[in-house]
Amino acid sequence: MTINVKGQLLDLSTPQVMGILNVTPDSFYSASRMQTEQEIAERVQQIIDEGASIIDIGAYSSRPNAVHISSNEEMDRLRMGLEIINRYHPEAIVSVDTFRAEIAERCVEEYGAAIINDISAGEMDKQMFETVTRLRVPYIMMHMQGTPQNMQQQPHYENLLKEIFLYFAQKIQQLRDLGMKDIILDPGFGFGKTLEHNYELMEHLEEFRLFELPLLVGVSRKSMIYKLLGNSPQEALNGTTVLNTVALMKGAHILRVHDVREAVEAVRIVEKLRTNIFNQ
């Protein structure tokens, strides 16, 4: 299980950790918001020091009821973060969290971004599939019902798993027909899903293996944790680590997280268990 990142193969047979860099003023987890050059530089250094192999930079808050911003504002925010990463850590693997094809193109061609992470799987910009195929970068596509502005307004499924699997099957075929090679799936925990939907999805996570594609899981400090436990995003680290461990046991290849060190430790423990089982 590998993806081609700037001509080098990134091995996902050992799960990788993706550290979140939010250059937004309104992300749901307030401690993740980085605005100044110093804050961004320190966060990037922290992500690298704690062991993440990918930095995922996002400038458009996708929390429920998030304010919609223009592409110009999104690019202005990204530009500062990307310039800082390139200045201090030019070797870093950078993923850009955007649903806009023009933003994806600029970030790859002007700033050397290596991966595009699209919460809408091409639904919010019909040019995205053709763009990422032409750019020849790995493409993370997430399942979301609706948009960030309306996704939590009574999400409904007749059959959750069947609908998500059909969604991905159709999207994968569209991308393959265009010649896309490196596709990563994100089930979209918290995006157009109730608390029960999220746990049903986690319960059946291993079934995504039928696609034979890398699987990214992003549950970090989300409402499926703090609403269940009756606390807050600030208090949801322990629950996050529990769910990350479950996801790893069920086949996740990439963990997208705010708290890198804890996720890296979870990977090490799960991998040790697997090694012991394999050697018995």
Instruction: Kindly list the distances between the CA atom of residue 148 and the CA atoms of 66, 74, 94, 117, in Å, as whole numbers in the listed order.
Output: 6, 15, 23, 15
Catalytic position from the list 256, 261, 268, 274:
256
Residue 209 designated active-site: no
Q: Buried (b) or exposed (e) across 33-56, using 16+ Cβ within 10 A? A: bbeeeeebbebbeebbebbbbbbb
Residue 77 designated active-site: no
Catalytic position from the list 171, 176, 222, 274:
222
Tokens of 111: 């700033």
The set of catalytic residues is: 222, 256
